[in-house]
Amino acid sequence: MLPTSDLRELPPAFGIVVYVRRDDDGRVFGRAANLDDVSATAATERELFQKILPICKAAIRAALDTGITQPLLETPLPMLADEQKRFFPLHL
């Protein structure tokens, strides 16, 4: 049995919901459904996530630094008809 007193505190983790769709020009647009005002556009879905996830992480860190203990929206924003949902566990 491992001693529990030696366990270090685990970093916080958050479930990020991102809605993704293609714009008229073929670029990929994504917006965080459970964070305010977080969105990005890229040429591919992979590039989109490389952009939007650091923005999400920065927004969460900023909220936690100001004393907000639950930075995610309680109710995610509604998904539009042309969007698809993606879920990412995000560790700070």
Whether 63 is in a domain gets the answer yes
Single out the residue of 23, 37, 12, 31 nearest to residue 92, CA to CA.
12
Contact in structure between 83 and 19 (CB atoms under 8 Å): yes
Pseudo-torsion of CA 3, 4, 5, 9, nearest 10°?
Answer: 140
**Cβ pair 10, 3 in contact under 8 A:** no
Full domain range(s) for residue 46: 12-91
Residue 7 counted as domain residue:
no
Q: Would you place residue 8 in the very low, low, confident or very high pLDDT band (cuts 50, 70, 90)? A: low
Count of structural domains, the chain: 1
pLDDT tens digits along 35-89? 999 999 999 999 999 999 999 999 999 999 999 988 999 999 999 999 999 999 9
Domain-embedded: residue 3: no
pLDDT at 57: 96
